[in-house]
Structure 1
Amino acid sequence: MSDVPTGTPTTVISAKPVVLPAPGRGEDLQVRVSAPATGDRLPVIVFSHGFGWSMNGYAPLADFWAAEGFVVVQPTHLDSRTLAIPADDPRTPRIWRIRVEDVTRVLDGLDVLEASVPGLGGRVDHDAVAVAGHSWGAQTASTLLGARVLGPDGVPGDDMSDPRVKAGVLLALPGLGDDLTPFAAEHLPFMRPSFDHMTTPALIVAGDHDDSPLSTRGPDWFTDPYTHSPADKSLLTLFGAEHSLGGIPGYEVAETTDENPARVALVQRLTSAFLRSALHPGDTAWKAAVTALEETPDPLGTLRHK
C-alpha cells in the first residue's frame, strides 16, 4: 500500500495542463496530474474520460483517489468538447484507437508527468499502475487490459494490452456488439469487443437502470464484460444507477440523471479499496470494503466475484 496516512483530510496537489508531445496526433496530449502532498510509494491510476469530457472532469473520483494516496493522471482525448474537433475530421474513425495510444503515451511519459508536479519526484511507484475509465473511457481502459475489437469478419483485432498495467476499474463499460442498435452498428464499429483475452484483474461497475440508446438489450448489457471475461474479475451492480452511476462525471452536471451522493461515495470507496489491494498485494482494504458492503442492512449494490 502507499505510505499515505489515512483517517485525516489529505491535501491534494494538481498540475494542468502538462503537455506530452504527440507527433502525428494533430494535437499534443494535454494531461492533468493530481497527487497527495505527502506520502511515498504512490500507485498510479490513468483515467480515461467518457465521450466529450476532458482532464477537468470526474472530480468526484479523481480528487477522492488522489486523497486516498494515488497519483491520478487524466489525459484529454480528441473527442473532448474542449478541443472542438468536427465530426467530419479525418481522425474521427480512429479516435477510439488514438485514445488507447493516449494512455500508452501517458505510461511512456510517467517520468515527465512525475516531474511536472512540485514535490512529487521520487514518490511514485512505477510498478503499481492501473487504468480506469467511464463509458467510452472504460472501453479505452479495457483494451489496455486485453479486450480486443472484432473486425468485420468477427476475428479479434490487434492486442493493445500493456503489461505495465496491473489492474483496472471499468465504469459503465459497454457490452458485446451483438445487440447494438442499427445506428451504433453503422457508426460505431469499434463497439464490437471480445473480452476473451481481458485477463488483467478488474473491477467492473454497472448500473441496473443503465438503459443505453446504443443497445437493444437493456441494463444487463453492461454486465457482459464480467460475464465474458476470464478471472480475476469482480462486478459491482449498483441499484437504481443510470449511466452516470450517481454522478461520477461531476457535481450537479447536466448529464447526471440519477444524482445520488451516497452511490458515488460507494463507488469511491470500493474502487479505491480494490485498486489499493490489486496494486500493492497484502493491502487488506478490498477485503474490508467487501465485508462492509455485505454486512450493510440496506446496500446500494451487490458484488460478484470470479
Structure 2
Amino acid sequence: MVPAAVQLTSTVVSLSPVVLAAPARAVDLQLRISLPRTGHDLPILLLSHGHGASNYLSSLEGYAPLANFWAARGFVVIQPTHLSSKTLRQDPRVLHAPGAPFFWRSRPQDMSYILDQLPTLEAAVPELTGRLDHSRVAVAGHSLGAHTASMLLGAQLTEDGTKVSLVDTRIKAGVLLTPPGNGGADLTAAGAERVPFFRYPSFAEMTTPTLVVVGDEDLSPQFTVRGADWHADSYFLSTGPKCLLTVLGSGHLLGGISGYDAAETTDENPERVALVQHLTWAYLRTALYPEDPAWPNACAQLQQQSPALARVECK
C-alpha cells in the first residue's frame, strides 16, 4: 500500500552523534536526532532500537526507514544508543556495568533522561531551539526496543518478587513493533534462562494508547513455545485504547524496518515496509492530534486497497 495522498512535508535534517552528558550512566548518551527542516511545535518521537545480530543497526545508526519517514512527516525523532548496543561492547565501562548485556532497566531510563534533558538539547542544538512541542511525546521500539517502549507506556515486570514500573506519563502514545509476549509457561526453558526479565511481565497496567505491530509469520522458538501470536500479547493482555496491526506474510523485521537492505531481513519486502511506515505514522498522528483523521483514513485505505497485506483491529 503506497500512500499517494501523503507527501513529504520537508527535507529531513539528521544530526549525529549528539552526545548528552549522563554522569549516572556507564558512558554518555549518544543520540541521532532527525527532524523536518522546517516547522514549529513539532511532536517528539523516541525510538528504541532492538538487540539484533548486526553491529550497527542496534544503535543510533539503525531504523532509517522509519526515522526518515516519520521525520519527513513532522516528527522530531530521537534515537539513543542504549548500553546493550554492540557498538559499545568493547568498552569495559559498559561490559562490566550492572544490567549487562541487555540493560533492560537502563533502556527506558535513557528515554526518560532524554525528556528530562530536552531544554539542554534545545540550547545546544540550534536546529531544535524553539521548535519542539513538549506536550506531544510518543515512543516507538522494535523487538527488545518494543519491550523498552512498553515499560514507558505502563507495562510492568516482576524482579525478585517486586513489581517494577518505569512508566513515563509525559509519553502520550506508543508503537510496539514485534514486541515480546507473555512469560511463565509460554517461554521455553532456554528463553527464560537467557532473558530472565521476560519471565513475569504484566501488561494490565499499560493503559497508554498504543499500536502493536506484529507479523503473522514471526516465529520465535528461541523464546516461546507458542507461535507468532505470542508477539500480540501486549495488545490482548492490556486494556484499551489499543490497536493491533498484523502484517500478513511478515517475519520479525516486518519487511526490513531496521535498515535499508539489512542482511538479516528474512522477509525483505519494500511494500511491507511502506505499509508499516505509513500506518505507524498515521496512528501516532491521530493519537497526538485527535482531530486529525490520518489513522481512520489509513485503515479505510488499507481495507479498500490492500486487505491482503495486513489487517487492523482496535479496542
Q: 2:105 matched to which residue of 1? A: 97
Give the Cα separation in 2 of the matches to 1:138 and 1:113. 24
Secondary structure of 2:245's aligned partner: strand
Q: How does 1:63-82 map to 2 (within 5 A)?
A: 63-82=68-87
Q: Deviations over 1:119-140 (max 9, x none)?
A: 3311111100001000000000
Following TM superposition, by how much is the alpha carbon of 1:112 offset from its aligned partner in structure 2, in angstroms? Answer: 2.5
Q: Deviations over 1:62-107 (max 9, x none)?
A: 0000001000000000111111257962421671001111111111
Secondary structure of 1:186's aligned partner: helix
Q: CA distance change for structure 1 residues 298 and 199 in 2, over 3 Å: closer, same or farther?
A: closer
What residue ranges of structure 1 are gaps of 5+ in the alignment?
1-5
The answer as to whether partners of 1:168 and 1:200 remain within 8 angstroms in 2 is: yes
**Structure 2 residue 54 is matched with structure 1 residue 46:** no
Give the Cα separation in 1 of the matches to 2:89 and 2:138. 29
Which of 276, 283, 286 is equivalent to 1:277?
286
The answer as to whether partners of 1:45 and 1:130 remain within 8 angstroms in 2 is: yes
Q: 1:19 matched to which residue of 2? A: 19
Q: How does 1:117-266 map to 2 (within 5 A)?
A: 117-153=125-161, 157-178=163-184, 179-191=186-198, 192-212=200-220, 213-266=222-275
Q: Deviations over 1:184-210 (max 9, x none)?
A: 211211113100000000000000010
**One-letter identity of the residue aligned with 2:250:** A
Following TM superposition, by how much is the alpha carbon of 1:278 offset from its aligned partner in structure 2, in angstroms? Answer: 0.7
Q: CA distance change for structure 1 residues 181 and 276 in 2, over 3 Å: closer, same or farther?
A: same
Following TM superposition, by how much is the alpha carbon of 1:10 offset from its aligned partner in structure 2, in angstroms? Answer: 2.1
Give the Cα separation in 2 of the matches to 1:118 and 1:64. 22
Q: Deviations over 1:241-292 (max 9, x none)?
A: 1110110001111221100100010000000011111112211111111111
Q: 2:55 matched to which residue of 1? A: none
**Structure 2 residue 114 is matched with structure 1 residue 106:** yes
Following TM superposition, by how much is the alpha carbon of 1:152 offset from its aligned partner in structure 2, in angstroms? Answer: 4.9
Secondary structure of 1:283's aligned partner: coil
Give the Cα separation in 2 of the matches to 1:77 and 1:119. 24
Give the Cα separation in 2 of the matches to 1:219 and 1:94. 23
The answer as to whether partners of 1:14 and 1:117 remain within 8 angstroms in 2 is: no
Q: CA distance change for structure 1 residues 146 and 261 in 2, over 3 Å: closer, same or farther?
A: same
How many residues align? The count is: 299
Give the Cα separation in 2 of the matches to 1:93 and 1:256. 23
Deviates more, 1:39-48 or 1:294-303: 294-303
**Structure 2 residue 88 is matched with structure 1 residue 83:** yes
The answer as to whether partners of 2:43 and 2:75 remain within 8 angstroms in 1 is: yes
Q: 1:295 matched to which residue of 2? A: 304
What residue ranges of structure 2 are gaps of 5+ in the alignment?
1-5, 53-57
Give the Cα separation in 2 of the matches to 1:165 and 1:93. 26
Give the Cα separation in 2 of the matches to 1:116 and 1:64. 25
Q: CA distance change for structure 1 residues 94 and 265 in 2, over 3 Å: closer, same or farther?
A: closer
- TM-score by length of structure 2 reads 0.91
Give the Cα separation in 1 of the matches to 2:142 and 2:306. 28
**One-letter identity of the residue aligned with 1:183:** A
Secondary structure of 2:107's aligned partner: helix
Give the Cα separation in 2 of the matches to 1:262 and 1:278. 24
Secondary structure of 1:45's aligned partner: strand
Give the Cα separation in 1 of the matches to 2:197 and 2:86. 21
Q: CA distance change for structure 1 residues 116 and 195 in 2, over 3 Å: closer, same or farther?
A: same
The answer as to whether partners of 2:142 and 2:178 remain within 8 angstroms in 1 is: yes
The answer as to whether partners of 2:8 and 2:73 remain within 8 angstroms in 1 is: no
The answer as to whether partners of 1:33 and 1:113 remain within 8 angstroms in 2 is: no
Secondary structure of 2:86's aligned partner: coil
- TM-score by length of structure 1 reads 0.93
Compute the RMSD of aligned alpha carbons.
Answer: 1.7
Secondary structure of 1:47's aligned partner: strand
Give the Cα separation in 1 of the matches to 2:24 and 2:128. 30
